[in-house]
Amino acid sequence: MLLNAIKTKQLNDRRMKLLITGINGFVAQHFLRFLTLNDKSFTILGISRSKQMIDPDSFPELNLTIQQADLLDKSKVGEIIKNFRPDFLLHLASVSSVGHSWLQPLESFVNNTNIFLNLVEQLRIENIPCRILSIGSSEEYGIVTTDDIPITEKCKLNPISPYAVARVSQEMISEIYHKGYGMDIVMTRSFNHIGPGQKDVFVISSFAKQLAKIYLFPDLEKKVVVGDNSIIRDFIDVRDVVKAYYLLLKNGVSGEIYNICSGNGISIKDVLEKMRKLIGIEITIEENKKLFRKNDNPVIIGNADKIKNSLKWAPNIDIDQSLTDIIDWWKIQLKTI
């Protein structure tokens, strides 16, 4: 009994190790801020492919180390896994732009599929009992019928872009490693998340940047360039997304897939009008056919009842707050240029 008590205390005293890939990315930055406010108990290793990495001192309350590595390098991944031996893996690294995947389909597929395969395979080889959160996308659903809206996790997958095919492949790899090797993997299908700090290759951040420029520099032409603004999307704030990821890492059911979404749909046109009113300027809209995607999904609205019921998660940040914060963030960035 005493020996068991000692072993339990040693386990509790050891800081759990969390490996985060894509540490330089938009979502990872918000996840680290969430941990700073809610859970400082992890020893964290962040992996970045870029030489320009975040400074761990930006998160002084976290036990954070950053390492540069290309996750396509199987031997490097093996070295990281063997040396760090994570208890949790939050896999955020990806080429996440659907538009980019049409321009570079090979890069998108190989990167998004093989980096995940390298990670899970090395964890399997080292026999490390690690809880893995595999991040997928609502793009996996593709074009759905009106009867499928709002989309549940039971909806048939119908990927219609190179990016979506890669995400489905990652999910299938997850299921194979869970069922075939007994690995502890939880999966998401995450809908369009937005928030301050997102790159302007994504539509809402692009609008915010254009509007902030017009606001800050009155001599500029008051024009916003758009693609297909008729499509409807389910936008969710990234700060709600990272809370869901944390809860899934802690308490998600192994082998299960969870939608991460708001449950509300809004057209791109209506989002732009909301943003225009929030910033208080008049604009003209110019449609650029080059920004239209091939085979784009006309409507994507999700159903998040599964994660809401099982983990008591719900989004707390409404879209007006998200849009205000994104616009304010771009004002700050543009003032410093």
Domain boundaries, the chain: 2-195+235-264+304-317, 203-232+266-296+322-335
Q: With respect to CATH, is domain 2-195+235-264+304-317 assigned 3.30.70.360? A: no
Least-confidence region, from 88-97, 133-142, 245-254, 307-316? 88-97
As given in the structure block, the two tokens for residue 268 are: 């791109």
Beta bridge partner(s), residue 226:
287
pLDDT(158) > 90:
yes
Percent of the chain with pLDDT over 70: 95
Question: What are the tens digits of pLDDT across the range 18-64?
Answer: 999 999 999 999 999 999 999 999 999 999 998 777 888 999 999 99
Please give the average per-residue pLDDT across 269-284, as a whole number.
95
pLDDT at 9: 36
Alpha helices, DSSP H only, in 39-161? 74-84, 98-103, 105-125
What are the backbone dihedrals phi and psi of residue 133, each rounded to the nearest 5 degrees, phi first? -110, 110
The b-or-e profile of 38-65 (16+ CB within 10 A means b, else e) is: eeeebbbbbbbbeeeebebeebeebebe
pLDDT at 103: 85
Q: Rounded distance, CA 185 to CA 133, Å?
A: 6
pLDDT(326) > 50:
yes
Q: Mapping DSSP to helix (H, G, I), strand (E, B) and coil, where does residue 41 land?
A: coil
pLDDT at 100: 80
Only one residue has tokens 């996840």, namely 31
pLDDT at 12: 43
Neighbours of 134 (CB within 10 A): 23
Q: Mapping DSSP to helix (H, G, I), strand (E, B) and coil, where does residue 248 land?
A: helix
Please give the average per-residue pLDDT across 252-281, as a whole number.
97
Q: With respect to CATH, is domain 203-232+266-296+322-335 assigned 3.90.25.10? A: yes
Mean pLDDT over each residue of the chain, to the nearest integer: 92
